[in-house]
Amino acid sequence: MACIGKWTLLMSIALVCGCSAILGQSEKRKVHIVYMGNSPANPEKATSLYQKVLAKVLSGKEEVARSMVYSYAASFSGFAAELSTTEAASISKMPGVVSVFPSSVKKLHTTRSWDFLGLSTTSNHGLPTGGSNIIIGVLDSGVWPESESFSDKYLPDPIPSRWKGTCVSGDSFSSSNCNRKLIGARMFPNGYEQNFGPITGPGEYRSPRDAEGHGSHTASTAGGSSVKHASLFGLAEGTARGGTQTARIAAYKVCWFGSCTDADILAAFDEAVADGVDLISSSIGGSPQDYFSDSIAIGAFHAVQNGVFVSSSAGNSGPSVYTATNVAPWLTTVAASSIDRKFTSSIVLGNSLPYKGVALNTISLSNPWYPLVSGEAIRNASSPLANFSKYCYDGTMALDKVKDSIVVCYGGVGAPDATVLAAGGAGVILVDSFDKSVGFAFSLPCSVVGTADAKHILKYINSTSFPVADILPSITTVDDSLVPQTAIFSSRGPNIITPDILKPDITAPGVDILAAWSPVSSISGESTDNRSTSFNIISGTSMSCPHVTGAAAFVKSFHPEWSPAAIKSALMTTATPLDGDKRFNKDGPLGYGSGLISPTKATDPGLVYDADTTDFSLFLCGLNYTSEQVQLISGFSNFSCPEEVPSVIDLNYPSIAIANVQGSLNKSIIRTLTNVGFSGNSTYTVHIQAPKGVSVTVSPSSLHFDAPYQRLSFHANFQANSLPSEQVYLSGALTWTDGLHVVRSPVLIWPASFTVQ
């Protein structure tokens, strides 16, 4: 999904991402991904090989050439091509092919946040290995290179010599737009153009330049330079910066007009790994798919295999459970949570009574008072949709009553601010019965109130012959009681593909985040909003994902030798669980995973749960992939799945999930810890927080490490005569500590009766 849009939340509708492109009859050709596993032995001959595959189902060299969209060969094997359903089915049966699937369309999952996480403006100074050697790749809508967030003013060091990327030219973009901060910028339009036609006209650049703002926002959040006095027209004023300010940024534009095709996403992953990035941030998602029919899961598998950490957004379809996306275990899946900041816009009525609403209202009304009307009371009787006038739906209100008035509208249908603005209205008081925890920008003065305040406002309107009101510009409020809560929009688990792997993994700030923006993009998302800004405040798991990328870059700057799984473990086991008494934390780890990231703690976790391609290969065996399939995917030509099928629950994961328990419970798991503490000699003891009604034993109960990077294993057994009959989950934790380090793993158990609430 996009960074969460105001009408997505205010209408209380969870929009489903990743719908396939609308195409014609089944035999009409459309772009398919042909995935063939690990990178080829001879990448320079890969395209020729793929053409031979196509030639078996197509007629002649010209048709093969026209069909080919992308050739993938740097980090994995495969290609994107226009195929009919029949042709795709034929290729899927060929030797050496892991999967064939249509190139679907995914969506973008759409400051003070780093202060809140404990990284001050000086936290990036004096890093042992130098944060300036870290390269962050961002798959998104491009970048606005002139933003101060991408200035290289304080980066005297040369670009790392291992960097192999480039800056491609295009509309309003040239290689001179890159510098020592923004060291790479590529675009991937082929998949989009095959689906929707040429990228032309206003509203987009056929280049790495960001017309939407989303890509600039995520890139600057992950690794942007420090910019003092950044704000959205005075709101949230302060220093905007990334998690690792000295990191280098490489932008990979895969999203066009808000849509991102699988073919383009895979091409970007392939290039990013070949270019030499250390981390990839992908705030993009669709509906969960089998891992090797999912472009992000495929790209991430081979990125991680090549030592590249990948973080992805969990999605914006909360608060329902079973909505998390990007759930492959080699991905770090990020939920969104609130920070200690809120934007309030007061409403003052003619009777002098004030009401405090929530909005990013940066527009001042020119007069002290405006007529106040209710959309429901000024319905246009001639409209067939007159009954929708309370929602201020287009055409349902008497326009003469709207002009120069503040209108009370209910959220639920359409875009009331755009409708009122088009009719010459002065402002909107929006009634949202669902939630007021997220601030949004509107195209005219607007403030969002709950139903209780709305009743008082409507009572005032009906009590006087000439009701009037004023909407004041928003102010920034910092309040510790606001945090941390799982964002209402943040997608929840369980993991619908592999329930025994807990998802999301972790949470990070994703509500009301200030970061760089494209000055040609609408602040409110409405085409009639012509305000221009270099920084914007938006919300979504799109915003939390780059926070984790930045935190991972911070950890990697201390430990460049650590694997992606080790970095992920460090972030998860040092995270802080959220307060279950808070309203939106009731889903526990299904909402926030291991908890809120703590970047500084993650630099010294003591122990990590590490995993590599062999571990993930055994995991795939547990999902009933054949030895031949795993050989293709992993590149291990001699690999064979064990005769006794491994349990997916035994993947060396930093959290523990036991799903779909029927009747009694008797489950044993194994985990292996690696000593990464500064002291080679240490003893850790386990502390068990058993889920209610479950007996938990751990053997051994203490682990003595006498060398750095020593690995020791333990078994944990979970027993219960029965689980509660209610559709609930049980949570607990296993924590290893040596008195200095605290290595915590959440435990989640739920019965087979647990369903969507």
Q: Which residues are catalytic?
A: 140, 214, 542
C-beta of residue 441 within 8 angstroms of C-beta of residue 452? no
Question: Collapsing DSSP states into helix, strand and coil, what is residue 10?
Answer: helix
Question: Collapsing DSSP states into helix, strand and coil, what is residue 115?
Answer: helix
DSSP string, 538-557: E-SHHHHHHHHHHHHHHHHH
Burial of residue 323 (CB within 10 Å: 0-12, 13-18, 19+) is buried
The C-alpha atoms of residue 276 and residue 298 are separated, in whole angstroms, by: 18
Q: For residue 272, what are its two tokens? A: 């990013």
The H or E element that residue 6 is part of is helix 6-10
Q: For residue 170, what are its two tokens? A: 């295009």
C-beta of residue 33 within 8 angstroms of C-beta of residue 100? yes
The C-alpha atoms of residue 315 and residue 286 are separated, in whole angstroms, by: 8
- Sign, CA dihedral 226-229-234-236, equals positive
β strands within 606-741, DSSP E: 607-608, 656-661, 665-675, 682-689, 695-699, 702-705, 711-720, 730-737
The C-alpha atoms of residue 602 and residue 555 are separated, in whole angstroms, by: 7
Burial of residue 119 (CB within 10 Å: 0-12, 13-18, 19+) is buried
The C-alpha atoms of residue 641 and residue 49 are separated, in whole angstroms, by: 28
C-beta of residue 749 within 8 angstroms of C-beta of residue 500? no
C-beta of residue 309 within 8 angstroms of C-beta of residue 564? yes
CA-wise closest residue to 307 among 291, 327, 326, 330: 330
The C-alpha atoms of residue 412 and residue 390 are separated, in whole angstroms, by: 10
The C-alpha atoms of residue 246 and residue 442 are separated, in whole angstroms, by: 34
CA-wise closest residue to 103 among 37, 196, 186: 196
Strand partners, 410: 431
Question: Collapsing DSSP states into helix, strand and coil, what is residue 164?
Answer: coil
